[in-house]
Chains A and B, each alone.
Chain A
Amino acid sequence: DAKTTQPPSMDCAEGRAANLPCNHSTISGNEYVYWYRQIHSQGPQYIIHGLKNNETNEMASLIITEDRKSSTLILPHATLRDTAVYYCIVRKRDTGNQFYFGTGTSLTVIP
């Protein structure tokens, strides 16, 4: 699976959009980009995933560059409950493949 690079930490004002970047320059054609988050002392929570098109759901939007070498997770209106570690993971979508977590980005939403 391709490796990912994320900034170790970010701050965001409550109510503003949080933009979390992820670099995955070695991604291959059949690898998806997944985003999970982990609130302190809890299990990871799925947020969104995509292959090459931008994706949006009730939680967030995922913007993937045309060359697929980087992506951005957007939380449109961050709340204090969005304070968590956000993990960007690249993996094949074939069932059975493991998730390997990187170091993630610790997002702090500030009142």
Chain B
Amino acid sequence: GAVVSQHPSWVICKSGTSVKIECRSLDFQATTMFWYRQFPKQSLMLMATSNEGSKATYEQGVEKDKFLINHASLTLSTLTVTSAHPEDSSFYICSARDSAGISSYNEQFFGPGTRLTVL
């Protein structure tokens, strides 16, 4: 099946710094990628929809100036958490939609997640 990778798998940073998380579709092109956040013992919460070559669409309540999303190519989307604070500590997961629709059973493939800890 299609593979989505994320880098880094975990990161620890100081409060006030910015952190960039990459999401890559390894063997397919993804016009659309999605970013989720998951706090401990909670479900995944959709943060934003990332469209290649255009601005991301953010879910209600998600600060677009804090969570910068760039989708510059069909295989890469990045999420930058700006001026991170301890409350931003979470598990960030991306998913990618197979643009070519090669998959006959599933349009989205999820990455392994990135654990962010802000001290």
Contacts and interface: CB of A to CB of B under 8 A. Distances in A.
A36 B95 CA distance: 13
Interface of B: 1, 4, 6, 32, 34, 36, 43-46, 49, 91, 93, 95, 97, 101, 105-113, 115
Interface residues of A, number: 21
Contacts, number: 53
B93 A103 contact: no
A98 B49 CA distance: 8
Nearest to B107: A95
A102 interface: yes
A46 B105 contact: yes
Contacts of B49: 96, 98
A93 B91 CA distance: 27
Interface of A: 36, 38, 41-46, 49, 85, 87, 93, 95-96, 98-104
A31 B112 CA distance: 27
A43 B1 CA distance: 14
A49 B103 CA distance: 13
A102 B45 CA distance: 9
Nearest to B45: A101
Contacts of B44: 38, 44, 101
Contacts of B110: 36, 43-45
Contact of B46 (A93, A98, A104): A98
A13 B46 CA distance: 33
